[in-house]
Structure 1
């Protein structure tokens, strides 16, 4: 192997600067997101069917568990890449292994929902996580100032993966409580590792905000796809065409409004400390899971309108209302509350509460769409007021 080839294979993994100019998502990161959205879609589809068949509790439980595996693996790679993306051959190969793990996880979603069989999901998850361990060990070797941080990550992740594999041998009745314990263990790893001598890692606030924003857009696309299905069903179903097209239009409006609310302000200014970054990063579990669930909820409403579901109109309405309300509360808590003051700050939680009342009236999805449009209007007026105040100063 010549010197150039050796350099490409063994390029040291240096920490990237937290204030590096013009830092943007790479093509590899975009591929990573795209493949993970396949897993998100696989999780949302059985949630839709479970609610339509009136297996709400089991469907929601499985969905939240599966979505945690998807989100946590995506999040850990995203923050690691923000600090250590060298884009050399070893880095690319290790990242592609993580993507392969995500595809294995996606293939295991159906058995998890139908038979509570988490073997394939756990295998795919462990593959993703152990590939990241290899990345952290490489970072430990090449970044001496943060060696302890990297080794803590590698050790913590490895220990928890062993526990995940052991979890498969436990009785089914232990599955949920042990899952909760292991989730807590996963969440503690970054909190402990980043506080090691030399920490925290040099994540890039603008890059992180962009990565989260891109994933939010992609997951919102899943809900747009659900609205498209409603349009197609409306065109095919002469008897229920008006109702289905109304649901489709309202669904698209909801998605557009949620996009507007999420991107009303840049979030990078919020990532000012380790604590703030952890709260912001962890809180996005609610945003991502709720966003994907909105698409599933629209599917449930379509099933109800075409008499293909076993749930009432109210339950079908709540399949959309609950994730929309959770999205609004999460965006308020993570984006609005830390950056704004004044009476208008309570608009988001108030609208979220009204959204939860919408399923009690006829045509709940159009009502929800109207409520979020009003919230967007209030947000826009407030933003104009802030801008005018700045210009006067």
Structure 2
């Protein structure tokens, strides 16, 4: 490398002057995630963890339905804002000063939204809308910088001007809608219906925009890495929840069988979910067939929430062991349901990505769910309603059994994929290659193909 080349590279790395936002190369190979994007993701995972804490409190208080409703609303708001920025940064992220400032402003919005979550869950528990003014203010701050960035892209990338303007207009209109949703006088039913319609419109809009006006220059491999890293960091929140939950138990009671079991289960579940997710060859497949990115990305919206909810389940388990006011069935469901959702979603993402829905994969899928079903059966047989009493040998043995079974589900999924899933994935890829040449769909005309 010459002195001139080195100086040019250092200038690009260290001097964040304004740079033309002309669009990144959608076919750039080996493009990596930037430190700014990683910092951005960390703030969002804090919001996931906060929402999971509130969900755990709602479950412990017996407000399961309201808690799940508020949690779903919070996860959608946070994840959708993250996804929209990830889409833009993959297409136009130039890491200049203005881009960095806009990113930091969005992070401030995430923090403000997080402060509104306790009110959201409390309102939901009293039969009111989970939406509130603080949430909306945070959400708008998260989205308005993106409008500015899309308008900047429209000015500096004339070839994709219509696509960029369409994104800016849709996001701006959506923010007006979210602001209207907190107007006084709206009934609970009307507010929820309005929010559902608004969310559906936001989900559909990108597909319509890219079909009608052309694809933004997002990079499929970069998108795959961004989603994978957020999944990884969210799995890390499960580890953090495990440490926090066990830490409370140990400080109150010292080390016990329950504390050891929860610690071991949390680590096994986190490792199993991480391993299983990364058995899907996402970057390779999306680089080959970028038109599959849209359905694949939407399958991640519930996945992030389900993984964070595993952390909530571990907190519920620790609470049940510490105060012994929850039944074994409540503890089991708090763990088994989110783990089951993650297992189902991993199989769904695999199927969407490989476009393979044949029956040969179903036995492995069923095998991963058997331990979860067995855990619920054990909890029902022991006592579905009486609070757990770890002084009783039967309750202690049952707690160890159900937590071990939930963890076993993740182990079965990983082992099954390593033994059976590998060859099955190869066969699915071969069928894909036989159906269509590898270059089809890479030009963006099918970028929103569902």
Is TM-score (shorter-chain normalized) higher than 0.5? Answer: yes
**Distance apart, 1:168 and its partner CA:** 0.5
1:78, 1:387 → 2: CA distance? 27
Question: 1:315-351, CA deviations, whole angstroms, 9 ceiling, x for partnerless residues?
Answer: 2211111111111111101125643666245412542
Q: Which has the larger radius of gyration?
A: 2
8 Å contact from structure 1 (residues 16, 84) kept in 2? yes
8 Å contact from structure 1 (residues 355, 368) kept in 2? yes
Matched, 1:298 2:336: no
Show the 5 A alignment for 1:359-370: 359-361=376-378, 362-363=398-399, 364-370=402-408
Matched, 1:79 2:87: yes
Matched, 1:101 2:109: yes
Q: Secondary structure of the residue that 1:137 maps to in structure 2?
A: helix
Cα 1:387–1:8 shift into 2, 3 Å: closer
2:16, 2:254 → 1: CA distance? 63
8 Å contact from structure 1 (residues 105, 123) kept in 2? yes
**Distance apart, 1:89 and its partner CA:** 1.1
Q: Where do 5+ consecutive residues of structure 1 fail to align? A: none
2:328, 2:192 → 1: CA distance? 30
Matched, 1:358 2:375: yes
**Match in the other structure for 1:244:** 259
Match of 1:25 among 24, 33, 55: 33
Match of 1:215 among 230, 238, 243: 230
Question: 1:204-232, CA deviations, whole angstroms, 9 ceiling, x for partnerless residues?
Answer: 11111111111111111111112113332
1:17, 1:338 → 2: CA distance? 23
**Match in the other structure for 2:277:** 262
Matched, 1:148 2:169: no
Q: What's the C-alpha RMSD, in Å, of the aligned pairs?
A: 2.4
Question: 1:290-334, CA deviations, whole angstroms, 9 ceiling, x for partnerless residues?
Answer: 00000001111111112254x422122111111111111111011
1:357, 1:181 → 2: CA distance? 38
1:252, 1:60 → 2: CA distance? 24
Matched, 1:372 2:386: no
Cα 1:346–1:178 shift into 2, 3 Å: farther
8 Å contact from structure 2 (residues 368, 413) kept in 1? yes
**Match in the other structure for 1:128:** 142
**Match in the other structure for 1:12:** 20
**Match in the other structure for 2:172:** 158
**Match in the other structure for 1:167:** 181
**Match in the other structure for 1:281:** 297
Structure 1 stretches of 4+ with a deviation exceeding 6 A read 386-389
* TM-score, with structure 2 as normaliser: 0.79
Q: Secondary structure of the residue that 1:196 maps to in structure 2?
A: helix
Question: 1:263-299, CA deviations, whole angstroms, 9 ceiling, x for partnerless residues?
Answer: 0132024436676211111110111000000000111
8 Å contact from structure 1 (residues 325, 356) kept in 2? no
* TM-score, with structure 1 as normaliser: 0.90
8 Å contact from structure 1 (residues 44, 63) kept in 2? yes
May I ask how many residue pairs the two structures share in their alignment?
382
Cα 1:240–1:51 shift into 2, 3 Å: farther
1:140, 1:214 → 2: CA distance? 29
Matched, 1:40 2:40: no
Cα 1:356–1:82 shift into 2, 3 Å: farther
1:8, 1:256 → 2: CA distance? 38
**Distance apart, 1:248 and its partner CA:** 1.8
Q: Which moved more, 1:287-296 or 1:364-373?
A: 364-373
8 Å contact from structure 1 (residues 251, 365) kept in 2? no
Cα 1:260–1:336 shift into 2, 3 Å: farther
**Match in the other structure for 2:153:** 139
**Distance apart, 1:371 and its partner CA:** 2.2
**Distance apart, 1:40 and its partner CA:** 1.2
Q: Where do 5+ consecutive residues of structure 2 fail to align? A: 1-10, 124-129, 379-397, 428-450
